[in-house]
Amino acid sequence: MERGKFVVVDGLDGVGKGVVVDAIVDFEKQRGRKIFDVHTWWGKDLTQPPIHDYHPRVQDLGDAELLVSSEPTYIGVGRRIRNEYVKKGDRSYDPRLIMSAFGLDRQEWLQSTVTDARKAGIHVLQSRG
């Protein structure tokens, strides 16, 4: 079985990462690819409890051919990053703390989902990395 590709669209805030990811997803949908959008799985509304409070496993992906994601994630450490560190308002955090949190979030996501998805031949498209 062919390993899935792992593609990351990265760049500074506001450069159009989401536009690029959306264009790729639209193109793949037109080609008939089955898409699993992990944002829908988690629930992006940070004011509500997550729909699923864990990363999807390969068996959760069904017949998906492309897994679409972004970082930080919307559960666990990633949710905390989005709610507290990124939208900190008047609070200030040591940049090393924030970097460590991002690293932990990425490690958890890669180990729990991306690696197995790729082994199963599922491609992964991610905004930020």
Which residue is it, tokens 């069904």? 62
Indicate the pTM of the whole model: 0.88
The separation between CA 69 and the C-alpha centre of its own chain, rounded to angstroms, equals: 3
Query: 88 falls in which pLDDT band (50, 70, 90)?
Result: low
Longest dimension (CA), the chain: 51
Give strand ranges (E) for 1-129: 6-9, 35-37, 66-70, 123-127
Residue of 125, 110, 128, 113 lying closest to 52 (CA atoms):
113
* Cβ proximity of 96 and 76 under 8 Å: no
**37: its two tokens:** 């959008």
Residue type, position 88, single letter: K
Q: What is the pLDDT of residue 118?
A: 96
pLDDT digits over 26-67, tens only?
A: 999 999 999 999 999 999 888 899 999 999 999 999 999 999
* Cβ proximity of 125 and 21 under 8 Å: yes
Which DSSP string do the residues of 37-52 spell out, in sequence order?
A: EHHHHH-S-TTS--SS
Residue of 77, 70, 52 lying closest to 124 (CA atoms):
70
Q: What is the pLDDT of residue 1?
A: 52
Q: What is the pLDDT of residue 120?
A: 95
**12: its two tokens:** 């500074």
